[in-house]
Amino acid sequence: MPEENSPKPTFIAIVGASASGKSLFAQTIYDELLPELGANSIAIIKEDAYYRDQTHMPFEERVKTNYDHPKAFEHELLSQHLEQLVSSQSIECPVYCYKNHTRTEKSNTIEPTKIVLIEGIMLLTDKNLRDRFDIKVYMDTPLDICLLRRIERDTVERDRTIESITEQYISTVRPMYYQFIEPAKIHADIVITRGGKNRMAIEVIKAKIRQLSQ
Ligand SMILES: Nc1ncnc2c1ncn2[C@@H]1O[C@H](COP(=O)(O)OP(=O)(O)O)[C@@H](O)[C@H]1O
Ligand SMILES: Nc1ccn([C@@H]2O[C@H](COP(=O)(O)O)[C@@H](O)[C@H]2O)c(=O)n1
């Protein structure tokens, strides 16, 4: 049941190139604030969870999708879910599988909280979505560093070969970064250098969240 008179949640978007440190940054803030604020106060949503469902397509077709284009995401569903949180309703957040390139049958229930961290590459490209965010943070990590981190992460965590990472990087990841992600930096309120371990940046965002949580 929606709770009446609960204040609108603060939506904090964390954007930037793939492997720029968005997840690490968001997760670090979440993990460090959770004991202080409690699970009813802070939540994380990943834009990647909203990659379109492709279970109807054969695997050989799924690998060909351009995952670095805004249209690869079901932003309408993400936007609807943010609206539900504003209305104090819980959401069923999809669970995505990078190995199979589609959603799983599972979902995660996310309850309404005062603070919601939302992280992903294309969050600022869609005006409807962008306008929902109260604070917009851009991770400005050099692209060569992102590539090195992506190679390490995707071989270990996403079941990718060096060949597939290289091919995808040249055909879509790098050109789409210049077409969509980097130009959206203009919409950011805060630009963060050095990736997900920038301690001062983590502390500044935590301090702002503490203030908003009072
Ligand atoms: N400042 C940093 N120093 C070292 N490793 C980092 C740093 N920031 C991120 N990483 C690592 O780089 C990889 C990509 O970071 P991740 O947070 O998954 O990026 P994104 O969510 O932007 O794709 C992860 O393995 C993460 O642990
Ligand atoms: N099936 C998929 C779906 C997405 N990707 C890549 O993920 C990147 C976005 O996620 P980050 O955690 O790295 O921000 C994006 O660059 C896609 O290329 C994929 O490889 N396969």
DSSP 90-123: -EEEEEEETTTTEEEEEEEEE---SEEEEE-SST
CATH fold for the domain made of 10-213 = Rossmann fold (3.40.50)
Q: Whose CA is nearest to atom 10 of ligand 2?
A: 18
Q: How far apart are CA 163 and CA 157, in angstroms?
A: 16
Residue 118: how many CA atoms within 13 Å on its side-chain side? Answer: 30
Mean pLDDT, rounded, for 101-110: 96
Q: Tokens 């995505």 identify what position?
A: 96
Binding-site positions for ATP: 16-23
* The pTM of the whole model exceeds 0.90: yes
Q: Whose CA is nearest to atom 23 of ligand 1?
A: 19
Q: What does the pLDDT read at residue 2?
A: 45
Which residues contact ligand 2 via a Cβ below 6 A? 18-19, 22-23, 48, 51, 67-68, 98, 101, 121, 173
Mean pLDDT, rounded, for 40-66: 97
Q: Whose CA is nearest to atom 14 of ligand 1?
A: 19
Question: How far from 107 is each of 16, 33, 91, 182, CA to CA, in Å?
Answer: 25, 24, 9, 31
Q: What does the pLDDT read at residue 6?
A: 75
pLDDT band at 24 (very low <50, low <70, confident <90, very high): very high
6: Cα separation from own chain's centroid: 25
Q: For residue 93, how far is its CA from the centre of ligand 2 (angstroms)? A: 17
pLDDT (tens digit per residue) in 185-203: 999 999 999 999 999 999 9
Q: Which atom of ligand 2 approaches the CA of 48 most closely?
A: 10
Q: Tokens 């309408």 identify what position?
A: 76
Mean pLDDT, rounded, for 79-99: 97
Q: Whose CA is nearest to atom 5 of ligand 2?
A: 67
Q: Is the model's pLDDT at 78 over the cut of 70?
A: yes
> Percentage of the chain with pLDDT > 70?
98
Q: What does the pLDDT read at residue 214?
A: 85
Q: What does the pLDDT read at residue 1?
A: 44
> Percentage of the chain with pLDDT > 90?
95
Instruction: Name, in order, each residue with C-beta under 8 angstroms of 114's C-beta and a sequence gap of 6 or more.
Output: 7, 9, 10, 37, 40, 41, 42, 212, 213
Mean pLDDT, rounded, for 17-24: 98
> What are the extents of the domains in the chain?
10-213
Q: Which atom of ligand 1 approaches the CA of 139 most closely?
A: 22
Q: Is the model's pLDDT at 138 over the cut of 80?
A: yes
Q: Is the model's pLDDT at 207 over the cut of 80?
A: yes
Q: What does the pLDDT read at residue 36?
A: 95
Q: Which ligand sits closest to the CA of 151?
A: 1
Q: For residue 87, how far is its CA from the centre of ligand 1 (angstroms)? A: 33
Mean pLDDT, rounded, for 4-15: 87
11, 82 contact by CB (below 8 A): yes
Helix, strand, coil abundance in the chain, percent, nearest 5: 50, 20, 30
pLDDT band at 4 (very low <50, low <70, confident <90, very high): low
Q: Which atom of ligand 2 approaches the CA of 153 most closely?
A: 13
Which residues contact ligand 1 via a Cβ below 6 A? 16, 18-24, 149, 153, 194-197
Q: Which atom of ligand 1 approaches the CA of 25 most closely?
A: 17
